[in-house]
Chains A and B, each alone.
Chain A
Amino acid sequence: MPPKLEKVIINGSSRHRLYKGFLLLDSNGYLANEVLSKRIEENAQQRLLQRLALTGFTLERLSDHPAVMHVMTPFLPLFTVKQRTLFILRLVAATSCLLEAAEEASCQLAAAGVNPYRKEDEEPRALCADIHQIEVYEEGEVERIYNLYRQFLPELLAISTHSAVYGTSVQKDFSLRMRVNLASYLPRYISQFSEQHLEHLELFIRKKHKLSNLSQMDINPLGGDPSALRKPERPLLLKTAAAVELRFIDAQCSFPFIRAQVILLQALAMHGRELARVGRRLFPVSDESLDENKALALHSGGGAVLRPDSYRRSDEPRKSSTYERKEPEVATTALLKLIEDTLLDALLDLECEPWELYPITLGAELRRREKRCFANYAEYQQYLCTAYPEERFIAILQEQTRLLLSSSTFDIICDYNRQLHQKLAQEIESVWSEKLAPHHSSESKGEAPC
């Protein structure tokens, strides 16, 4: 059957690829050794191959640590609710292959930045991340999308922290992953990205920031296959693609939460694409300010109070982010404002249903109203650890992780937030239904930073 053009969106979303991270643990919660993890990988790989619907899905063990495993999706479209549902369902199905293989070897999966059950005797720690690749089509949009992700890195990082518990003890930081990962650096502002002049750009980064190459940064503008950018008339929908890669987020345990993350990343990319098409650039938020906010986000997660950019000139009028508003802001509220001021049009183009964003927006809205609730799964992990004795905590977290990894729709923090603030949650949900209703005019659109 020939392809049918259903809908055209200018500056729309692109395909997405996810390296979903898991920690392989033995029945006592210790990291699986090389032999065990290889056995599980082979078994899971077999299971993947038997599922036609999972063509293109693969498994990859991290070279740094045998107990860290990634389920890699192919580049898949996420333009509509159905496509996103299919993406998540396939991901759940691929995860279940790994889960079954692990359980057959009397092992279990954990999806968090570090092992919440046991401490590791030896460094390096097994650090587990979800890596997102967002397909890009040309150099101009690489620059804008990369710089947008860079600018909002602290907000994205704050909600995605997921290492609040390590070896059954509550940590002072919400993300240990970044703290002990010596090969990951704050992305530096790129004023002009050019694949052809990559050597010049890398030389500049090397001289100014002492980074040996761009891929060392938390956000890698050269993810996927960057050579695709050089091909002028490349066919669409190849298996490989050039991509901007975000590899800074702790591994998440809830698929609805991942879905919300994916939508936010795609919406930011769409906004970047729009800037590229009209020839506008992002102003450079200072590295110092981002460094500070990144540190605050790592420390306090969703509750971090992000600081404005004190290096910015006061006469500049735009006010669409914490850096421009010149006032400190709680990370979850800053993220809500980003969505409301900048991303609503992109979300409408994505046909985003309000429930798709609730795993992030519901907790953030409750916080904006000064209500005690769960802003992300790190807080839930921390809560369980303080509310239960050690053995009970381990049993509950293991059971709930299994449930979460087996379901495309199960979202504990949303359910608990609703349970805690029933009436308010209903109000918030109806407000978001209104915001994301298709008739929502573009009047609300915030002024794009440039």
Chain B
Amino acid sequence: MALIGPQRAQIVKALIDAFPSYADLRYMVSMHLDENIETIVSSINVRDCALELVVKMDAQGKIKELIRGALDGNETNPLLVDCGVDFGVLTARESVTLPPLPKDLEEVAHPAPDALFTSRDVEVTALPSEYYREECLIAISDARRWGIADNSLYVILSLQTLSMGKPVQQVPLNLRAVDYVRSGSLRINQQLGESIGLLSHSKRFWSVCKARDIVPIKEIVFELRVERARVDEEIRELRGHYQDIFLHRPLLREGHASLRDLSFQVHGLGYFNVHAIQPPLDTCNSETLLLLDDKTTVQLLVPHHKSAVDMVILVDVSGSMTIEDYVGEDGLPHSRLDGMKLALETLIDRCLLSGGCRVSRLAILAFGSTTAMLYPTRPVMEELTSVEKIKQIRVALRQNLSDDGLRVLKVVRNPTNIAAVLSAAADVLNRSFLEETEKVLVLLSDGANWDEKTDPGAEGEIVSATEDPAALADSLHANSGIRIHTVGISNEEAYRLYRKKATHETISGLTPNIPLLRNIAASAEGIFFESPDAKSLNRLFDELGRGAIYPLT
């Protein structure tokens, strides 16, 4: 490149601006051009030196190297950047020689040995449909020619893609042989065909093989991929068109794919993730086709539009909680109160320490016959802002959960009144109402709705409809959007064993009422936890903020 005067001047000016002293210039030449400046220039005056450098490098055809080296030494000097752009140093790189890509890039145009037919055998046309379904039709004569005896079978279509990372895409299909399709034609569901690019004048190769393992799905919970605008209407739509959207549709488990790797496309809604499935995937072989049939229970998990969680923990301190039938992780019997304290400890730890659960405000209530605030002392929600707050909560609980503490708080321990504490907790939540938060109650109890005045021979206590905790839970969920999770402290079996060993007389009203706890949770779209240990309760935090499950079948 033979520079003209103004070009030389531009580079000299930029060099002086970026390297104002001789020492700077010498350092740059040494470090970034790997040259000794004294061997190139004779002057030590910066301007003369820069000019001499430009002229000599230009004569050697190295002006780009000079600019690149100068930019390496001072990459953000505006005048140097101008030079870099003007002299083609800072534009797109010319294509560099990268090592060849290691994977064979030959087009996958060889049918598998067990292929029934390929793209070379048929012409693909659209089968108009409003719904995305994995279905296609061929002529009966073609089916017979290709050795397909059944008029309906599940197959796997292997399609060449344009992606380097995944050269073949596998799509499960329900293939039907019918007499109204002409020979040499494959009619594919329009939504599916468009989605996988089979209808857009594509010349990509594909082949079809018979699916080997087909497993009916007993139960599946789909999860919306993105927040939806009108969830209620969409759930109605999904229920209304259940047969078209879900029935007899296959999901393909490729290789040893996990639950997270399964997805289900629904026209108009994009993709669903799979949140849970029965039978579990680890009982299925690799390359299994999972089928939604008329016996499958289908549910939809809708993520909440909520940015935080308000949690109220309800702690049962009634008389029945002193029974020592709770079997801890050490295998030894402890009092139910100990079990409850363990659960409480876990909940508090996870509330703040696990940022993912998004519990932003907390309150804890103790209850027996009456209800009292354990933390904070006023009936409001307390912001969880720091580890210090957790320490405060622990201190407050230590003080208040003792016998003396409960006496000071004036908690009447018998009989148990779950309905009253649910109402009180709902009041606390509603008083501190924030539109964007999810409202959650966690009830730690044995469920024993026990009154010491109850006839010792009676199983539990009869309560009136207005006091029925499950009915109240249902109403709180419907009217205030409160979800109630319940944690069972002890169970019937543990209490039975306890009674066997007990030397003194026991009262049947002390039996843990697990069905009641289950009902409360079910009525308020919550989860019932059988055990108060950390392992079990961690699931609660995994579920928090995740949303509600709606049956679609």
**A residues neighboring B (CB under 8 Å):** 51, 53-54, 64-65, 81-82, 85-86, 89-90, 92-93, 122-124, 164, 170-173, 178-179, 182-183, 185-186, 188, 206, 209-213, 216, 256, 287-288, 291-296, 298-299, 303, 305, 307, 310, 328, 330, 353, 355-356, 358, 367, 370-375, 379-383, 385-388, 408-412, 414-416, 418-420
Contacts and interface: CB of A to CB of B under 8 A. Distances in A.
Indicate the member of B78, B165, B228 with the most A CB atoms within 10 Å: B165
Contact of A292 (B91, B161, B270): B270
Given A291-B229, A416-B98, A409 B93 contact: yes
Interface string B72-94: 00111110011011000011110
Given A54-B76, A124-B356, A383-B165, A287 B229 contact: yes
A185 B81 contact: no
B283 interface: no
Closest 10 CB pairs of A and B: A295-B270, A382-B165, A212-B436, A355-B92, A53-B76, A287-B229, A124-B356, A123-B356, A383-B165, A295-B225
Nearest to B95: A418
Contacts of B279: none
B82 A122 contact: no
18 contacts: A85-B90, A124-B355, A183-B307, A211-B436, A212-B435, A213-B436, A288-B228, A292-B270, A296-B270, A305-B195, A310-B268, A367-B162, A372-B107, A372-B162, A372-B164, A374-B164, A415-B98, A419-B95
A330 B197 contact: yes
Interface in B163-197: 163-167, 194-197
B204 A370 contact: yes
Indicate the member of A90, A171, A210 with the most B CB atoms within 10 Å: A210
B168 to A, nearest CB: 11
Nearest to A203: B435
Nearest to B204: A370
Contacts of B204: 370
A260 to B, nearest CB: 10
Contacts of B202: 370
Contacts of A288: 228-230, 268
A179 B307 contact: no
Contacts of A85: 81, 84-85, 90
A381 B163 CA distance: 12
Given A53-B77, A185-B305, A386 B166 contact: yes
B403 interface: no
B195 A328 contact: yes
Indicate the member of B200, B225, B261, B303 with the most A CB atoms within 10 Å: B225
A229 B262 CA distance: 46
B303 A122 contact: no
B95 A409 contact: no
B365 to A, nearest CB: 26
Contacts of B435: 206, 210, 212
A123 B103 contact: no
A410 B197 CA distance: 32
A64 B436 CA distance: 19
A385 B165 contact: yes
B75 A216 contact: no
A299 B164 contact: no
B162 A371 contact: yes
A48 to B, nearest CB: 12
Nearest to A287: B229
A419 B101 CA distance: 9
Contact of A409 (B92, B162, B203, B273): B92
Contacts of A183: 307
Contacts of B271: 295-296, 298-299
Contacts of A375: 163
Contacts of B273: 179
Given A82-B81, A291-B227, A305-B195, A256 B270 contact: no
B269 A292 contact: yes
A420 B354 contact: no
B542 interface: yes
A351 to B, nearest CB: 11
A387 B102 CA distance: 7
Nearest to A366: B162
Where chain B touches its partner, the secondary structure class is loop
Contacts of B303: 182
Interface in B64-122: 71, 74-78, 81-82, 84-85, 90-93, 95-98, 100-103, 105, 107
A43 to B, nearest CB: 20
B194 A123 contact: no
Contact of A211 (B76, B165, B305): B305
Given A53-B76, A291-B226, A358 B92 contact: yes
Contacts of B84: 85
Given A372-B162, A374-B164, A420-B105, A209 B225 contact: no
A298 B434 CA distance: 31
A328 B265 CA distance: 15
B162 A370 contact: yes
A173 B262 CA distance: 10
Nearest to B353: A122
B307 A415 contact: no
A186 B75 contact: no
A372 B105 contact: yes
B175 to A, nearest CB: 22
Indicate the member of B82, B91, B163, B271 with the most A CB atoms within 10 Å: B163
Nearest to A92: B75
Contact of B227 (A170, A186, A256): A186
B355 A379 contact: no
Nearest to B197: A305
Given A124-B355, A294-B226, A410-B93, 8 more contacts: A85-B84, A93-B76, A185-B305, A299-B270, A299-B271, A358-B92, A386-B103, A419-B97
Contacts of B263: 172-173, 299
A92 B81 CA distance: 13
B261 A172 contact: yes
A179 B226 CA distance: 7
A385 B163 CA distance: 13
A403 B54 CA distance: 29
Contacts of A412: 98
A419 B164 CA distance: 14
A178 B436 CA distance: 19
Nearest to A303: B163
Interface string B207-250: 00000000000000000011111100000000000000000000
B102 A388 contact: yes
Given A86-B78, A212-B435, A415 B270 contact: no
A251 to B, nearest CB: 19
B162 A292 contact: no
Contacts of A296: 270-271
A380 B98 CA distance: 14
B260 interface: yes
Contacts of B262: 172
A358 to B, nearest CB: 6
Interface string B331-375: 000000000000000000000001110100000000000000000
Nearest to A209: B229
Given A86-B81, A370-B162, A387-B101, A415 B269 contact: no
B305 A299 contact: no
B512 interface: no
Nearest to B545: A182
Given A86-B78, A356-B92, A170 B165 contact: yes
Indicate the member of A292, A358, A371 with the most B CB atoms within 10 Å: A292
A166 B100 CA distance: 25
Interface in B20-71: 71
A90 B268 CA distance: 44
A164 B164 CA distance: 13
A385 B162 CA distance: 17
A209 B435 CA distance: 12
B58 to A, nearest CB: 22
Contacts of B105: 372, 420
